[in-house]
Structure 1
Amino acid sequence: MSNLGQFDFYQSNYTIDNQEQICDDYLHGSRKQEASEQPQPASLVPPEMLTPDSTGQCFQPAFYPDYYSQSPYIESFGEEPPLLEELGINFDHIWQKTLTVLNPLKPADGSIMNETDLAGPILFCLALGATLLMAGKFQFGYVYGLSAIGCIVIHALLNLMSSSGVSYGCVASVLGYCLLPMVILSSCAIFFSLQGIIGTVSALAIISWCSLSASKIFISALTMEGQQLLIAYPCALLYGLFALLTVF
């Protein structure tokens, strides 16, 4: 053991602090290498929309109106029709059909009348039932029953008479719109009785009004020139039943 003092051991500059620093450098270097090898996710923001900030070190999304205006999704959304039009409710067409019915001498537009629009007919049927109820006659079932049976019969007759044919919805729409003069007659029954000469004459005038308007629309939509009186006759029978409900 005394001989150990005669040997001079090798003195090195390597210390524990240097060992910790080397380990830290190795760990940070391996993490950077792994991060660089990983694939970067594709950016959802286009490069032209990224602008550097004042320091030039990070990028922030910028707003470009031209980019959003050229987006196909925004253009397709702007081209969509209104919700009421998708549901088949067009107030302009409803108003034009109503004016055509109120003026029997006005020519009908076949392109507008050949539509299965049931918003106006349902409204007029409800108005007829409501006015009859105000006159003391609860006849909603008769109104809807006669409307359904009449539409079926008129639909069959028109398909036999015309070469092009017609849909059931179109027939129901036309007959429902032409029910508007009958609503006027039922409104008059609220204030005075129609069981007399004046009431009979008024009922005949309303029946003629409704049937002429319906036949005018049918010949315009189905291009059946010269057959208005043939179509007006079954329509007059149908509206005559509504007149009987109103008068009696």
Structure 2
Amino acid sequence: MGEWSQDGSWSNYNQQDWNAGQADGFQQFDYGNYNDNSGYTQDASVGYVDQTSYTGSMFIPDSTASFTASAATTSAFDEEPPLLEELGINPDHILQKTLTVLNPLRATDQAAAGDSDLAGPLCFILAFGSFLMLSGKLHFNYIYGIGLLGCLAIYALLNLMAVSGVAICTVVSVLGYCLIPIVGLSGLSVLFSLTGVLGTILTGIAVLWCTASSSKLFVTALEMRDQQLLVAYPCGLLYSVFALITMF
């Protein structure tokens, strides 16, 4: 503020006093000490930035980072067994057993013959029932019922005949794999009827084929070389029932 003096001049003493006081107040603040003691620097675009934490490489990955955890996880996955092995499915034994059924004169490994794989028999049984259904015969209940009774009967018989005994899964696996000729016969029943002479001949061949293959696998797995005919008889009866279901 100011006032007019008597001689007509303007006196601005209040503004001068205010400027002097403001200058004295700012002189009491030490900017040098503030910049030295604080860990911040002023940037025109972002304001104050912490120099102790910001390195200037925000989007650049650190080359000294450790990947020990990911490497350990990868090695742990590499050491895990395959999924088929965890499920108890051996493709090599499945192929050998299938080839043995298709060719009864083929030599078979004892481990492959005694394999208790149930994936193959389940597929063959489902294919057998599906072919019968396509030919107008819905016999899934007969297939499961007769198959269950036949497996239990042959299991009891083989435990009486074999010295080392046999597992029920091995019996089901062998009988299921040796059902392949009957499955092929049921596929032919979709194309033509098996009640004629040709159908009877094909049915007899399929039963003999299944009987020879199953008895060979049983005597190979259980080391019953001189008892193949005794094992073949009950197997032939079981496959004859499945052949009758296919024919009629």
TM above 0.5:
yes
Shift of 1:138: 0.5
Residue 32 of structure 1 corresponds to none
Please list, as runs of the form range in 1=range in 2, the aligned pairs for 1:203-242 lying within 5 A after superposition. 203-242=203-242
Moved more, 229-238 or 107-116: 107-116
The DSSP-based 3-state class of the residue aligned with 2:115 is: coil
- 2:64 partner letter: A
Give 1:62's match in structure 2, choosing from 39, 61, 64.
64
Residue 116 of structure 1 deviates from its aligned partner by 1.5
> For the structure 1 residues 133 and 229, does the alpha-carbon distance in structure 2 shift closer, same or farther, using more than 3 Å as the test?
same
- Work out the CA distance in 2 between the residues paired with 1:96 and 1:190: 29
Shift of 1:90: 2.7
Give yes or no for the alignment of 1:147 onto 2:147: yes
Q: Secondary structure at the match of 1:226?
A: helix
Aligned match of 2:127: 127
- What residue identity is the alignment partner of 2:234? P
Supply the RMSD in Å over aligned alpha carbons: 3.1
User: What's 1:198 paired with?
Assistant: 198
Q: Map of 1:28-47 to 2, 5 A cutoff? A: none
Cα distance, 1:236 vs. partner? 0.1
Code of the residue aligned with 2:219 in structure 1: it is I
Alpha-carbon shift at residue 92 of structure 1 (Å): 2.8
Pick which of 107-116 and 132-141 moved more: 107-116
In the alignment, the residues of structure 2 paired with residue 63 and residue 149 of structure 1 have an alpha-carbon distance, to the nearest angstrom, of: 65
The CA distance in 1 between the partners of 2:230 and 2:72, in whole Å, is 53
In the TM superposition, residue 196 of structure 1 has moved relative to its aligned partner by 2.1
2-side partners of 1:99 and 1:63: how far apart?
A: 55
How far did 1:89 drift? 2.4
Separation of aligned partners in 1, 2:99 and 2:65: 50
Counterparts of 1:128 and 1:93 in 2: how far apart (Å)?
A: 22
With the length of structure 2 as denominator, give the TM-score of the two structures: 0.71
Matched letter for residue 164 of structure 1: S
Q: Who is 1:7 aligned against?
A: none
- 1:176 and 1:84 map into 2 onto residues whose CA distance is 20
Q: Which residue of 2 aligns with 1:29?
A: none
**Residues 63 and 98 (structure 1 numbering): CA distance in 2 closer, same or farther, change over 3 Å?**
farther
Cα distance change of structure 1 residues 171 and 63 upon mapping to structure 2, 3 Å threshold? farther
Where 1:227 maps in the other structure, the secondary structure is: helix
Amino acid at match of 1:62: T
The alpha carbon displacement at 1:197 in A equals 2.0
Q: 1:163 Cα shift?
A: 0.4
Letter in 2 for 1:99: L
CA distance in 2, matches of 1:247, 1:230: 26
Query: Structure 1 73/206 Cα, relative in aligned 2: closer, same or farther at 3 Å?
Result: same
Bigger drift between 194-203 and 155-164 goes to 194-203
Query: 2:187 aligns to what?
Result: 187
Provide structure 2 residue ranges, at least 5 long, that are not aligned to the other structure. 1-28, 38-54, 56-61
Q: Deviations over 1:35-79 (max 9, x none)?
A: xxxxxxxxxxxxxxxxxx9xxxxxx663689x789x776555323
Residue 103 of structure 1 is matched in structure 2 by 103
Partner residue, 2:173: 173
- Of all paired residues, the percent bearing the same amino acid is 52
Aligned residue in 2 for 1:39: none
AA aligned to 1:227 is Q
Instruction: Normalising by structure 1, report the TM-score.
Output: 0.71
Aligned-partner residue type, residue 178 of structure 1? C
Residue 146 of structure 1 and its aligned partner are, at CA, apart by: 1.0
Q: How far 1:172 moved relative to its partner?
A: 0.2
- Aligned to 1:116, the other structure's residue is in SS state coil
Q: Which moved more, 1:107-116 or 1:72-81?
A: 72-81
Structure 1 position 242, deviation (Å): 0.1
SS in 2 for 1:234: helix
Partner of 2:225, secondary structure, is coil
